[in-house]
Amino acid sequence: MPKIVGVLAVQGDFKEHIETLNEIEGVEARPVKTSQQIAACDALVIPGGESTTIGKLMERFELDVPVREMHAQGKPLWGTCAGMIILAKHIVDSDQWRLGLMDITVQRNAFGRQVDSFEADLPVKGIDGGPVRAVFIRAPYVREVCEACGVEVLAEVEGKIVLCRQGKLLASAFHPELTDDRRVQEMFLGMIDD
């Protein structure tokens, strides 16, 4: 049985996530935008894009309900970039809508206007075989994590946290769907219970 991985398809770069996940054996990745579609998945990716827009659409269509239900059932959720902001409990200087599931404080557009995007080679805790090439686009970073809540820091750039995990929640400030390396995807898929 393939693992069904939903990619929230209300806004953002969901197509790239679906394409890269579908390269991996044993995975069926599909776009999801209704409660029923979300509920049918073993895991969910919330992609990069514009976090305020994704949040507004999730709120309007009450998509937080099936996503919270997945989380309660122990199914993994992965937020990349804007998706990471959606997962966070705290967002610096913002009252925008969020799921607020992960005990992290994120700062939006954290690398400054001058550097809209950049790439870096990141050593990642738990990933062997050399650093992971990471693409950052108007990226947020994680300013603070609640270690007592079980948040584990997996990678940093310039001393800023850009990849972390809390139980079945994974958050990345960068975009593994925009490179040829599938090791972060594999890490996420490994969080799905057999």
Residues found near ligand GLN in the complex (CB under 6 A): 48-51, 81-82, 85, 108-109, 137-138, 140
175 is catalytic: yes
Alpha helices in the chain (DSSP H): 14-22, 35-39, 51-60, 64-72, 82-87, 183-189
Nearest to 72 by CA among 168, 147, 145: 168
Please say if 149 is a catalytic residue: no
Provide the residue type at 86 as one letter: I
Catalytic residue among 41, 71, 156, 175: 175
Which of 71, 156, 164, 177 is labelled catalytic?
177
Known active-site residue 81: yes
Closer to ligand GLN by CB, 13 or 42: give it.
13
In the complex, what is the shortest distance from the CB of residue 159 to ligand GLN, in angstroms, rounded to a whole number? 20
Comparing CB distances to ligand GLN, the nearer of 16 and 181 is 16
Residue tagged active-site, from 71, 81, 156, 164 = 81
Instruction: Give SS3 for 60.
Output: helix
Q: b/e string for 148-179 if b means 16 or more Cβ within 10 A?
A: eeebeebbbbeebbbbbbbbbbbbbbbbbbbb
Q: Quick check: 86 and 57 in contact, CB under 8 A?
A: no
Give every CB contact of residue 147 below 8 A, 6+ residues apart in sequence: none
What residue spans of 61-144 are helical by DSSP H? 64-72, 82-87
Considering the complex, state which of residue 9 and residue 85 has its C-beta at the smaller distance from ligand GLN: 85
Nearer to ligand GLN, 111 or 145 (CB): 111
**What is the Cα–Cα distance from 191 to 30, expressed in whole angstroms?**
18
What is the nearest approach in angstroms of ligand GLN to the Cβ of residue 155?
17
Active-site annotation, residues: 81, 175, 177
